[in-house]
Amino acid sequence: MKPGARGFSLLENLVALSVVAIALAAAARAASQAVDTSAALGQRTLARWVAENRVAELRAMPATPPPGRRSGEARQGPYHFLWEQVVTATGDANWRTVEVAVLSADGQALAHLGAHLLARTTDAR
């Protein structure tokens, strides 16, 4: 640049452009991670609903299920889930404990819910 000329040199422009490019790349990466986190949170929320639905189904049954392990599948939104429930007797004959675990189709644990059920038979009114 000529002495007394106004403006920025080529080197100054390249440095400024590099700084802007690095900042934009970091912002794009942060936005991508936020989208991934949001999708994972949505899947975990739907898995929790599967667990809550399973407990609601057990509570709506005419008789409390016997102690033991059971598994099944559920679809919630765009996802396919596997659920596993374990019903156990408690120290009180009137109550049972149920634990429901929900997994993704590839076996990743997504949600876990524990509940207590009033033990009843079909004759109870």
The pLDDT value given to residue 26: 87
Confidence of residue 5 (pLDDT cuts 50, 70, 90): confident
Q: From CA 57, how far away is CA 64, in angstroms rounded?
A: 10
- In DSSP notation, 4-67 reads T--S--HHHHHHHHHHHHHHHHHHHHHHHHHHHHHHHHHHHHHHHHHHHHHHHHHHHSSSPPPS
User: Which tens digits make up the pLDDT trace of 33-78?
Assistant: 877 778 889 999 999 999 999 999 999 999 988 999 999 999 999 9
Left, alpha or beta for 108 (phi > 0: left; psi -120 to 50: alpha)?
A: beta
User: Which tens digits make up the pLDDT trace of 71-113?
Assistant: 999 999 999 999 999 999 999 989 999 999 999 999 999 999 9
| Domain boundaries along the sequence of the chain | 10-118
CATH class of 10-118: alpha beta
Q: Per-residue pLDDT for 20 more than 80?
A: yes
Q: Per-residue pLDDT for 123 more than 60?
A: no
Mean pLDDT of 19-37: 85
Whole-model pTM? Answer: 0.71
